[in-house]
Structure 1
Amino acid sequence: MTKSTQFILPFFILLMNIVHAQMTKTDPLYKTIISKDSLFFSAGYNTCNIGKMESMLSDRFEFYHDKGGFEDKNKFIIDFKNGLCKSPETYQLKRVLVDKSTEIYPMYKEGKIYAAIQNGDHLFYEKMGDQAEKLVGEAKFTHLWILENAEWKLKNSLSFDHHPKQTTDNETMFDNDQSMQSWLKENNIPTMGLGIIEGGKLQQVKVFGNTKTGILTPPNACFNVASLTKPVTAIVALRLISLGKWKLDEPLDTYWTDPDIISDPRHQKLTTRMVLSHQTGFPNWRWMNTDKKLNFQFDPGTKYQYSGEGFEYLRKALEKKFGKSLDQLAKELIFQPLKMHNTNYIWDQNTDETKFVTGYNEKGNAYPVEKIKTANAADDLHTTIEDYGNFMISIMKGKNLKPEVFQEMIKKQVKVKEGKYSGLGFEIYDLGNGEYALSHGGADQGTRCIAIVLPNSGKGIVIFTNVDDGYKVYEKLVLHYLGEQGKKIVEIESK
């Protein structure tokens, strides 16, 4: 009997004897092993971080592959370095754990856990140069994790039943829901909503992940979308302008002046145009100032500076003139006409808390849900992928806006950086040859969101995530779904 056979036989005998002891997903051991798996593959294998991988392997590590044979730790590391990771800029192989395929079994000695067996399925994606990732194969695996000096190390790995994955040339990880779910899990994204716009229509609405109670997140789940509130407020104002009830360049002090700046004559210069293009001269928020008071940091209309205070200033002027709250105006002008039944500025009696997505920090700790009772023009809108996707479609089509108002909205009001400008309520990317994108992002505790539309081609994407570092999935999604135009947007943001 060979050395490898001597190992494998007792290994599988042990496995058969502990089937009854499979861990549930809520068990601490299950979570620990899944976390180790994610670190080993996401932070090591998939990124060619050989140091990270090696640190997680036992010195007695053994690898068994049904096509490549047996390797000890040294040979495994050398072959990995000189093979799959020889030229990561031209070739990459990514391993993705198949969601719900994992089984974890504890191993006991004298009543104490000393090891754990992990069974599961995994998929493999290949990327060559600038080409999109493509699904190329799948296999089963068994891992033996052991405790060495109170640290979990990978002792044995068996990868078997390898076979090509039947796929079309255009199928990628993003076209496979199971693979997408696994990819998000690798990136520690608890929940993500995705809306894909093609041909001026919302073609896909998907939500991945689980609620705080462990139930699959429904497609109509509500997210707090942070600053994606601002485009909605902007359209409220632009709709009123289109109806002849509001003026883009009328001084706002006709209706409202903040007490903090009433003695500064520059308040007389403030207009809706300056607010929507972030040229008020205000800080983002007054609480960022030492004295917590609103002030001008430069003359209004002279340059760009992102400001939530500006939008709140506009809200108070609108509410003063029309005698209605912002959420009432939005319902009449936007939400009801577009049938955005799951969108609101405030938390009211119609809010379904069971569908509200909880936000998390990078360590997986949940933030408390803030039940906003007063509308904020710049922040805290809660909505669904479907509602906001349809809203963005109405934007790209200029729906319910007079043509001249739409042209003002997409006009480059002020430069933000090379290739990027502020319009009215939206960021504008100049993609060359007459092509442009309208976009806005949102970032608060437990939420990272972005929406992009390409009016000329009728394409777009809406991404909602519920974690502080959710932005890390933007680039790949934008590149995949928006193609060359998405690549140009990424290049502009990378400058």
Structure 2
Amino acid sequence: MRFPSLLRRAALAAAVTLGGCAAPPPAPSQLDAEMQRLMAAAHVPGLAVAIIRDGQVTQRGAYGYANVEKRQPLRTDTIMYGASLTKAAFAYMVMQLVDEGVLALDAPLPALLNKPLPDYPKYADLKDDPRWRQVTPRMLLSHTSGLLNWRFINENNQLDFKYPPGTRYVYSGEGLNILQLVVEERTGLPLQTLMQQRVFDRFGMRDSSMVWRKEWEGRETTHYAKDGAVIAHKRRGEARAAGSMDTTINDYAAFMAGVLRGEGLSPAAYREMLSPQMAIVSLQQFPSHWPGDTDLWREVGLTIGLGWPLYQSPRGPAFFKEGNDDGTNNFALGFARQRDGMVLLSNSSNAQAMFLPAVEYVYGKTCLPWFWMNYIPYDRPELMTPQARTHPVLSAGCGL
């Protein structure tokens, strides 16, 4: 049973009243103690955290182990897999190209590619579906192309449209890789070079790359599944916009601080990037191509921008990005008005269970759409069941 809409609005208003005044950040010793407490409770072997205030990184910490078996401590310069945090860095680079007139957000693919998309072997599955001609960079950046996340989700292992282009948010790594193809052809440069010049060098990200570097040997994390099973760090040799970036908490915090300052983009491009493109109506982010709508997130204004999901927090407009893979949970959150933010990188599939309490420890109630993100807290196992989708706490408009 759901709370009435009026009660949901009242709950959000109360959260805004209680959380609108920013509390001072916790002292480093307090932050250290709380992060380690949460790690132990959620069974997370390694976590790195950064806090940003007014566009500057003010705190960094690394806890636990990069490799449990070797008792190798996690450090702020440990090489960690960024997973889909890559997408946000790629989007920022794309918006620079838009700023410079190299790329038009609303140009259709036939006007941008050297040949029809199905003529590229990777996209031959679309040869009998003309809808690819309607797809634009705006749709690809905002995950509204209608393409599913990965073709292997389909039983026939073929890429297809789940919705008409421009009609629904459907998270799509395939779409970001198509935009990579566009960007590489329009610039004549490989993605690794573009990201190095326009993102990594700009923000002083000395230990970030879209492909593995040999000199990192021995500095990388080992990853751990939910049951603690060991997953080796992949040494990716191909740059992929959807997720091949290795980074460190030092580096990604520097990037996030730069994003919060709007560095490298015109005010117009920055506003466009963080402007709502489409409301998100799926109950949870994955699998977002499943049918069915909900108004559960309307109260917090959950929408998709260009590269970043957006919502209205008690602190004003907020944007975020997650990055998940086997043995990896990452999260970056920004509050645009205050230029404050937080980055969490882990080497564990369990870390997302501590992200909501970690964020709320630092910022208080944020109205983070945690259930949509599947950030179900470690101490609320009842919310992990199918019945949780109608749990009253989800309808209160502002979390636990």
Band the TM-score falls in, shorter-chain normalisation: 0.7 to 0.9
Does structure 1 residue 336 correspond to structure 2 residue 193?
A: no
State the AA in 1 paired with 2:239.
A
TM alignment of 1:207-226, pairs within 5 A:
207-212=62-67, 213-226=70-83
Structure 1 or 2: more strand by fraction = 1
On the 8 A contact 1:248/1:272 being kept in 2, the answer is yes
On the 8 A contact 1:228/1:441 being kept in 2, the answer is yes
Cα displacement (A) at 1:473: 1.0
TM alignment of 1:23-62, pairs within 5 A:
none
Does structure 1 residue 181 correspond to structure 2 residue 46?
A: no
Query: Whose radius of gyration is greater, 1 or 2?
Result: 1
Does structure 1 residue 191 correspond to structure 2 residue 46?
A: yes
Cα displacement (A) at 1:492: 8.0
Does structure 1 residue 360 correspond to structure 2 residue 224?
A: yes
| Aligned with residue 386 of structure 1, among 243, 250, 257 | 250
Distance 1:382 1:274 in 2: 26
Distance 1:336 1:172 in 2: 31
Does structure 1 residue 346 correspond to structure 2 residue 201?
A: no
Q: 1:293 to 1:339 in 2, by over 3 A?
A: same
String of CA shifts for 1:278-316, please: whole Å, max 9, x gaps: 111101001111221111112101111111110011111
Distance 1:174 1:429 in 2: 31
Distance 1:246 1:409 in 2: 14
String of CA shifts for 1:108-132, please: whole Å, max 9, x gaps: xxxxxxxxxxxxxxxxxxxxxx99x
Partner of 2:269: 405
State the AA in 2 paired with 1:460.
G
Q: Could you tell me which runs of 5 or more consecutive residues in structure 1 were left unpaired when the two chains were aligned.
A: 1-129, 132-168
String of CA shifts for 1:428-465, please: whole Å, max 9, x gaps: 012368x1101010111000111001011121110111
Q: 1:365 to 1:303 in 2, by over 3 A?
A: same
Partner of 2:309: 427
String of CA shifts for 1:336-371, please: whole Å, max 9, x gaps: 111111111111334x12221111012211112211
Q: 1:190 to 1:414 in 2, by over 3 A?
A: same
On the 8 A contact 1:346/1:371 being kept in 2, the answer is yes
Does structure 1 residue 439 correspond to structure 2 residue 320?
A: yes
Partner of 2:103: 246
On the 8 A contact 1:226/1:379 being kept in 2, the answer is yes
Cα displacement (A) at 1:322: 2.2
Partner of 2:55: 200
Distance 1:492 1:330 in 2: 30
Q: Could you tell me which runs of 5 or more consecutive residues in structure 2 were left unpaired when the two chains were aligned.
A: 1-17, 118-122, 281-296, 374-393, 396-400
Q: 1:319 to 1:214 in 2, by over 3 A?
A: same
String of CA shifts for 1:396-448, please: whole Å, max 9, x gaps: 22211122211111111011142210000001012368x11010101110001
Secondary structure of 1:424 counterpart = coil
RMSD: 2.4
The normalised TM-score by structure 2 is 0.76
State the AA in 2 paired with 1:218.
R
Partner of 2:362: 481
String of CA shifts for 1:205-230, please: whole Å, max 9, x gaps: 11101232212222211211211111
The normalised TM-score by structure 1 is 0.62
Distance 2:314 2:334 in 1: 15
Q: 1:250 to 1:360 in 2, by over 3 A?
A: same
Distance 1:461 1:410 in 2: 17
String of CA shifts for 1:312-347, please: whole Å, max 9, x gaps: 111111122322221111111111111111111111
On the 8 A contact 1:252/1:314 being kept in 2, the answer is no
On the 8 A contact 2:238/2:244 being kept in 1, the answer is no
On the 8 A contact 2:52/2:341 being kept in 1, the answer is yes
| Aligned with residue 317 of structure 1, among 182, 185, 188 | 182
Cα displacement (A) at 1:181: 2.9
Q: Give percent identity, aligned residues only.
A: 28
Distance 1:373 1:464 in 2: 22
Partner of 1:151: none
Partner of 1:23: none
On the 8 A contact 2:79/2:246 being kept in 1, the answer is yes
Cα displacement (A) at 1:176: 5.3
On the 8 A contact 2:53/2:339 being kept in 1, the answer is yes
Cα displacement (A) at 1:178: 4.9
Secondary structure of 2:230 counterpart = coil
Partner of 1:236: 93
On the 8 A contact 1:279/1:304 being kept in 2, the answer is yes
On the 8 A contact 1:174/1:180 being kept in 2, the answer is no
Partner of 1:271: 136
Distance 2:273 2:184 in 1: 22
Partner of 2:160: 295
Partner of 1:261: 126
Cα displacement (A) at 1:188: 1.4
On the 8 A contact 1:286/1:294 being kept in 2, the answer is yes
State the AA in 1 paired with 2:206.
H
State the AA in 1 paired with 2:66.
T
Larger relative contact order, structure 1 or 2 (CA cutoff 8 Å, min sep 6): 2
Q: 1:231 to 1:444 in 2, by over 3 A?
A: same
Partner of 2:173: 308
